[in-house]
Structure 1
Amino acid sequence: MAARFLRCLQISSTFRASSLCQCRHFASEGKRGKRKYVEAAIVKSTKSKKEIVDVWKKMNASELAAALKTDYDDVVEILENLDKRNVNAIVNETPLDDNSILMAVSALNFKPRFINGPARKAEKEDDDLHPQPPPQESAKSKRPPIVTIMGHVDHGKTTLLDALRNSQIAAGEFGGITQHIGAFSVDLGKKGQKVTFLDTPGHAAFSSMRARGAKGADIVVLVVAADDGVKEQTVQSIQFARSANVPLVVAVNKIDKPNADPMRAMRSLLEHDVVVEQLGGDVQCIHVSALQSRNLPALQDALILQADLAELKSTKDGKVEAVIVESSVVHGIGKVCTLIVSRGTLKKGCVLVAGNSWCRVKTMQDEHGKNVTIALPSQPVRVSGWRDDLPTPGDLVLEAETVDRAQKVVNLRISKSMQEKAERDWEETAEQREKDRETYLKNRQFLLNRGQRFGSTLRCVVHKNQRIEKDQDDTHPKFRIILRTDVEGTLEAILEILSTYKSEMCSLQIVDFEVGSPTEKDIELAKETGATIYAFNLPISNQIRQKAEASGCQIDQFNVIYRLVEALKTEIESRLPKLEELVLVGEGHVLKEFMISDRGRKRQPIAGTLIEWGNFEKSSYYKFLRNGNVIFEGGLETMKAGMEVVTSAKTNTEVGLCLLDKNIRFKEDDQVEAYEKKQKSQQIDWFPPGF
């Protein structure tokens, strides 16, 4: 044994010496073009320790370069080669993931050692934009009030505003109903005091718009029709005004109608704790006729008085603050937003941030489409120049010092929203995993109780469920749409309506939705998914329409929201399978049973029947009843009148009926009913609110 051990040691020593000689031999041949290969081999064979570098989690690229004492550009190049996703982290100076840090350190021939990094503020809140502190009283000046007109649909809100500004707003609304929030500046009173009006939709579909209108207002004018009283959207408007803590001024409209009863309209407000001055309360109430412009000066005085009581003030100095009223995409201009300035002076060239979007103001226009150079507090303007996504109505607008600052703020907000979404997705994934685990344990225990101890029960169950769902999806009716609207508010309203769709009769799938006219990409998407494009209040170019026709895609245009809902329900119902119903077309009774044989066949029973009323057709569906119980349902083989084969017979005719089922025997006075099968369309069980 000892001899064998010594022999192994000699072989091992010889092998090491031979290997060392070979390495030296290869090194001596480096001048022949193999030097690069030999150097790599020598590095791998050396036992010199790598330099240890302290790193920490959530390092950014510049911190990593400083820790490695390496040129920043070299570190950036390595990070980009490792993972293209690191580019965003480098540009935005956000933390790198741990794997990228480890790989970059190793690539530079260092050994990483994780330590606690320097204290840093968690996602510096100072990097974001925030509203300024309230200005000093000495810097404040009086500003025009912002008045929101609210109420039920068709109670005359837009007509009232039309009369106040002596324009034709209502004539420009499709269907005579307001489908956007309109912002207008109006001169009221003899002194020409300015008031900014917000005209909100009254339809049930636009509840979110009304809520935003109440929050952005100083005064709410609640319009109640004298001939109709308080309705559903009237109550909703009262609730929005209260939640926003905005004072009310009631305008009882349509007092010119023959059936008008202003007192009944005022009393109906008492049920909702709105007590007008005429009934001993503190809420101003003016009786007007918007159509005939009657008593409008009294309403103007009430608004000016309410504004004076509120002592509305703001400052023209400092950074701009505003609120988005509406956003849309205008052909030839781009993304535009209607906003109301709440503080500061807005000028052309200002850099604004709203939500996850920013802009350098290119143009500013008033409600008449005229260009303006500045916008003061409470003044509504339409601003163009927005980048990235459209701001959402209701978003707060803040001014940034530079474009770089605005871009950093938007990137920070997007990063935060993505992180929050990732956390929500992780929670949902964890919940789903827990449910899957429970399903697995439940089915596993079930099989164990049956004596089956092998196989993945969860895999079988999930596979079976997925197969069932797939089979249902293949045959289940479905309707896919691509939605395009003129403005963000309308898109929001339509999506709220579609969110109420819960029917299992037909699947409604929204493939895509966006603000702006349909494009060629939308046509390709519709062709690929089999979707119908719904364009709301948008023009369709001839080029797009021709491409849609060539691709077999359908584009439907709408200008009124309830027409869109009606068309949607019609399209869904057209995809539902027809229901088959039986319509009674004749009755009779059996007089006698005959047993006959035909050409040597087995004798078969024939029902000699008298038709009491209606028509019997050979193709009809028959029921035979005895003592109220059905003994046969189905079709006939033949029908004879006397010796002649017939296909139909009328009232008071005796016929012989031969059934398909030869085992049925007949008795006298058995009842016979003849039915005709008809196809009946189904109606979808979806009733969106307000329609």
Structure 2
Amino acid sequence: MREKVAYSRRDHHAVIQMDAPVGPRSLRRRPRKPVKQQQTAEVQEEVRPSILYLPDSLTVAELAAELRVPATAVIKTLMSEGVMAAINNVIDFDVAKKVAAQFEVTVERSTPTEKERVQRIGVEAADKTDNLATRPPVVTILGHVDHGKTTLLDAIRQTRVVETEAGGITQHIGAYQVEKDGRKITFLDTPGHEAFTEMRSRGAQVTDIAVLVVAADDGVMPQTVEAINHARAAGVPIVVAINKIDRPGANPDRVKQQLADNDLLAEDWGGDTVMVEVSALKKEGIEDLLEMILLVADIRELKADYNCPASGTVIEAELDKTRGPVATVLVQNGVLRVGDAVVVGVTSGKIRAMFDYRGAALKEAGPSTPVSVLGIEDVPAAGDSVQVVEDEKAARQAAEEKLAGHKTELQKAGRLRLSDLFSKIQEGEVKDLNIVLKADVQGSVEALTSSLEKLSDNKVRVNVIHGAAGAITESDIALAAASDGIIIGFNVRPDPAVRRAAEREGVDIHLYRIIYEAIDDVKKAMAGLLEPTYKEVVLGRAEVRATFKVPGVGTVAGCYVSDGKVVRNASVRVLRDSVVIFEGKLSSLKRFKDDAREVAEGYECGIGIERFNDIKEGDVIEAYQMQEVKV
């Protein structure tokens, strides 16, 4: 007889339901030693549960522990189901259910955890529309590095903040408020669109309006276009501040034409983009800019619930030597008060003190108000959510559950991959394929953008959310991660730091040298025909520090291996300013005068490349191999 055991993953208590009473009489007549063995065998069988309550995802090791079977048995079962997973890999509920069925165990979803209950508080609060009231707009200033973002922020501070505050700002907390005609505007003082997008990639949408600063004498620059695309990807309306109109070479009409080329058409040209001419240095046009920000805010009808449990987002945080963890929080719903118990990301606490941007103590703060708070147990990350709960015990429990699941969530492949596109479309999970496109020249960008976007059909829309000439950067990774998109590179390469960022964020990068191959791969992925058979493994990179002409051999590059290793007979590509100029094979690899099988990082070597002699100092040689992927 086998007992039925209902086992809950949350409380780790087994509830035993007996089908029939177990009598001791049959056991008494058996010899002592066999009885002990029989009992042991029965106990081992009885320990395995008949019902498991599992969460939406868990690791292979965790599932094995719940099933009371070796992890190797779970891995073998997964392989039989066509799933290749290691002991620390994450599997979802449906896969876990199939595996458990092989061990004759029924699986049901666990009841909501404290973490999920806290998340539901925020969702329910956001769904209520009865208590909504107008709130101040939250503004982020974006633009090219030299176009006067900081000067504009300073001008707004000085013209609007100092009027109500003698002595100026005493405390910088990454955000501040100004007043215009009795109405408040919140400005986020972020380092640029990278930080703006990084927060969005963590699920934080804090900005209502983006002010794009463009210098009247310089015009639209590559970083300006990047900022436009980041704001568009976030769905944030753009107000353009044409700065430096006091400069001799200022030409606002030329700037408007360049912006029109990027689909931002000024209102006075018949478009719908608000553009204001300002001089941050001379503090001209600042009042007009603030007025336009309020006008856009009125059109958007920004509202918040003032009566629900407070929630918000961490803008920045630090560990203060005297005060401990300090977080700048933007309140987004409800009223945050001193004494509130809060869950902040994977930590928690009770608000001991709260200050505004001037350093003045506050007892409470409403929606769109930036505050500096004390009382959080650990330093949170920018973009972490803040949610008020009933007491510290509930806050601590929710934070512990989030922390426990944090590693699992990181391991789970949450980002879209081109090879998974068709299945995601069929399941209704994907309606947009967002692409960040980088190429060697602008002509290639335009040709690829046009061809890729024409692939859109009634099931999925292909969007090139950012396209530019140049190397793939960490900013591109952040944008793709925030938009759940992929990156396509044409004749360009990511450097090692960018590759690591892509791996960390789970962003899929596809590199091509022929345009139709890129288009064909996306088309096949949409149709479910893409079966990647090979993947590229970068072995190492070597910097060319000198070149030598060798009679009968050609040009040999004197190199320093800066990353990984260079292996004899490997495939190589030559990069000049991150653009691929040649691909081929190594013809020779030497250490001093001796042939070498491989040269490791930190060593110098001589490299010859088959049928290529146009090598120059400063070039980078990237060695790689193609490995077969078992589908």
Could you tell me the TM-score, scaled by structure 1's length? Answer: 0.45
Q: Which of structures 1 and 2 has the bigger CA Rg?
A: 1
Name the one with the larger helix percent: 1
Greater RCO (Cα-Cα under 8 Å, separation 6 or more): 2
TM-score by length of 2: 0.49
